[in-house]
Amino acid sequence: MAKVKISDGILEGEKVKNEYGGTYYSFKGIPYAKPPIGDLRFKAPQPVEPWDGIRNASKFGPISYQNDVFITKTIIGQEDCLYLNVYTPDLAPNKPFPVMVWIHGGGFVCGSGNDDLYGPEFLIKKDVIMVTLNYRLGILGFLSLETEDIPGNAGMKDQVAALRWVQNNIENFGGDPNNVTIFGESAGAASVSYHLISPMSAGLFKRAIIQSGAYTSRWAKCLRPRDRALSLAKKLGCYSEKDKEVAKFLKSQPMELFVDPKLTITAAENNKRTFELHVGVVSEKKFGDSERFFYDDLELNIHQDVDVVIGYCEHEGVFSLLSGAKNIADQFNMYPEYFVPTPIAYNSTISEQLDIGKIIKKKYLGDEIISEKNMEKLVDFFTADLFMYSTIVLSRIISVRNKNKVYLYKFSCKSKRNLSSKMCDVDHVLEDKTYVCHGDDLGYIFPMKLLQQDVQTNSKEYHMIETVTKLWTNFAKFGCPTPDNSFSVQWLPYTMDKKSYVSIGDTIIADNNPQEDEVIFWDKIYARHFPHYVF
């Protein structure tokens, strides 16, 4: 057993043997805010109440209430979910360790910081502290009535509260509060990118790693959130549009009624078969002195002196076939406007949507009909539409200001640890080869125990794990993924003139100007409605 005194009391954790070498200290289920229940539902997190005596920190705390649509396919969790976990190589090091805070993905609707997927064993060998956290998800974490009672972004403010906790307490675990790297994947990556610009997050971290997602991604911001909140209230039986009545009604409902985050507000949204997000970060209105996480007139300047690693997987779009490849193909064959990115669609007439949709369809499919024979072309579209283009856009936004270094990558590791296409149950409609799908990078950073994959230390898979974790921890320690001669290439920052990036696969290959033709194409698509995306 191991004891640590923090600002709220004393914790008793465990010393754990790492099956991949060495030992580490584990402290689980640490509360970082009050349970967001009762009148605190939908509100910003409140300070945790200190405890007397010694708190057992050997078990995980409850996770956010959710329908886990990706892994367990079950409804799990509680409203009382604001807990984090700390793993450290040593409680009294000669020099404080760099700290890496993981923000999990899951489409803002599911996931947790538990070690069934996000264990510390690979990273902690590299002498860093790892922190994982739970935050409110789905309706409970992201509903916005655009009122003082339900302003939105509760889940993002939970993340801020956890980062503030790290600043106040990580020294007690042997960590350096002045050297914190936040990193995340998918919705976790979008979250990390929002922290780069949120006034609430300034000064809470030094570096950021953004894996497959960004605030520039067309799914990362919730459009017309008040309409969605009112739609939910109507589904549950409240047809009032008076703010106080609706807020009181929603706060009084059992959490079980909030498990379905599908808050559609148009017939087209309701009928679309692809996996779409209807909750997420919103533009908050100002109410008195309350802190706002994000708002539309916010200056999109990256926090000073914060450097960034950002990238995407080679075949991200495989994930988009999750809800049924044939159904999706049928819809996209019939309705060309489905090719139009949602933010553009909301700012276009139906006639314009049809025209834009036909242009995009022509780019990726020519005159072909989508079928199982050419499903890869639809995957290419989804890869660009959902992840690749928005990643390049954010890289440019950071680079053009010339105040923060940004390192761009394309992830292309292929091995038995690439399981996402099988988990999505779509590998049978694609050619018989290994894809680097959305989420496949995670298996090279975390053991992912839930997937029951053993890794032999002399295997190809373990070699790639060592490569990726060294790149990530080098960046956390030194601000550069390749600070010495231990790699065969030097990973140069992305700049507007050279557009440097690396492909991370069996080997690391340095190159320039990734997917240039596609980026130019999407620039033309976005130029009218989002000119600030185009450089």
State the pLDDT at residue 432.
59
Neighbours of 51 (CB within 10 A): 12
- 345-349 mean pLDDT: 94
Q: Is the pTM of this model over 0.95?
A: yes
pLDDT in tens, 433-447: 778 999 999 999 999
Catalytic residue among 185, 198, 438, 518: 438
State the pLDDT at residue 187.
98
State the pLDDT at residue 431.
65
Catalytic residue among 121, 146, 316, 461: 316
Catalytic residue among 26, 112, 144, 186: 186
Alpha-carbon dihedral angle through residues 361, 106, 181, 478, given to the nearest 10 degrees: -50
Which residue's structure tokens are 């960034």? 308
Compute the distance between CA of residue 145 and CA of residue 149 in angstroms, rounded to an integer.
8
Catalytic residue at 186? yes
Share of the chain above pLDDT 90, in %: 84
Is residue 86 a contact partner of residue 27, using CB atoms and an 8 Å limit?
yes
- 450-458 mean pLDDT: 82
Cα 35 from chain centroid?
23
Catalytic residue at 316? yes
Which residue's structure tokens are 């974790």? 469
pLDDT at 58 over 80: yes
DSSP codes joined into one string, 29-67: EEE-S----GGGTTSPP-PPPP-SSEEE-SSPPPPBPEE
> Pairing state of beta strands 129-133 and 66-67?
unpaired
Among 178-187, 317-326, 445-454, the range scoring the smallest mean pLDDT is 317-326
State the pLDDT at residue 401.
86
- 158-162 mean pLDDT: 99
Catalytic residue at 516? no
Angle between helices 225-235 and 243-252 (to 10 degrees): 60
- 194-218 mean pLDDT: 98
pLDDT in tens, 175-202: 999 999 999 999 999 999 999 999 999 9
DSSP for residue 496: T
